[in-house]
Amino acid sequence: MIPIVSIVGKSGSGKTTLLEKVVAELTKMGYKVATIKHDVHGFEIDYEGKDSWRHKKAGATTVILSSPDKIAVVKDVNKEWSPAMLGLSFINGTDIIITEGYKKAGYPKIEVIRKAKSLKPICRKDKNLIGIASDIKFKSKDVPCLDINDSKGVARLIENRFLRDKTTDIIDLMVNNEEVPLKPFIRELLAEAIKGMVGSLKGCSNPRQIEIKIK
């Protein structure tokens, strides 16, 4: 699975601004970055009268917009997909996924705190909190606290934790669109078994990333 890091915080705290700058920094470092924006209120990417809107209105469950330089997919779902499932289904050739939102999900997260909006972290007790970006100086022994404008520092934090000197395999199991928690022993067992089988195939002796889908 591609590493996933969430930028979280209260509305108006500056999540989008920080994410934008961090993506630019990671891109300059040579990494390929995908982003996911979480909107609990729903959204529309098309408007009435457009051809794709008419396709959807007519009853199509999936509408794909295609052009020479980009594609977009509008698809009905029975329940919200997790970032891991979105990554498996739509994101390829990427080094890392950065989400805006998903503060209640179990992904590594960096909280943005702006004193005009809040004076204390909302994820302080979250074991997945890996850093704080703020215009307030917090003292914490557990996670680094960076200046809210230090996008390069935040990018380096992400690089050091998830992109540099990887010594262990990252593996996630999805069953019926649900992520199944795996203990470290099971993760290692699955990773070694899959790598062993795939590595024996012609042209697959040194895989960087393996994805398997069974329906």
pLDDT at 158 over 70: yes
What mean pLDDT comes out for the span 50-75? 89
**Mean pLDDT for the chain overall:** 87
pLDDT of amino acid 50? 86
- pTM to 2 decimal places: 0.72
pLDDT of amino acid 181? 75
pLDDT of amino acid 126? 92
pLDDT at 166 over 70: no
pLDDT in tens, 117-153: 988 888 988 999 999 999 999 887 789 999 999 999 9
Q: Which amino acid is at 80?
A: E
Confidence of residue 157 (pLDDT cuts 50, 70, 90): very high
pLDDT at 42 over 80: no
CA distance 210 to 135: 41
pLDDT of amino acid 182? 72
* Residue in 136, 83, 132 with CA at minimum distance from that of residue 112: 132
CA distance 87 to 102: 14
pLDDT in tens, 17-31: 999 999 999 999 989
More confident site: 41 or 78: 78
pLDDT of amino acid 167? 47
Confidence of residue 177 (pLDDT cuts 50, 70, 90): confident
Q: List the domains of the chain with CATH numbers.
A: 4-45+78-163 (3.40.50.300), 169-215 (no CATH)
* Residue pair 205/199 in contact by the 8 Å Cβ criterion: yes
Confidence of residue 169 (pLDDT cuts 50, 70, 90): low
pLDDT in tens, 64-118: 888 999 888 888 889 999 999 999 888 888 999 999 999 999 999 999 999 999 8
CA distance 214 to 110: 33
pLDDT at 202 over 50: yes
Q: Which amino acid is at 1?
A: M
3: its two tokens: 């590493």
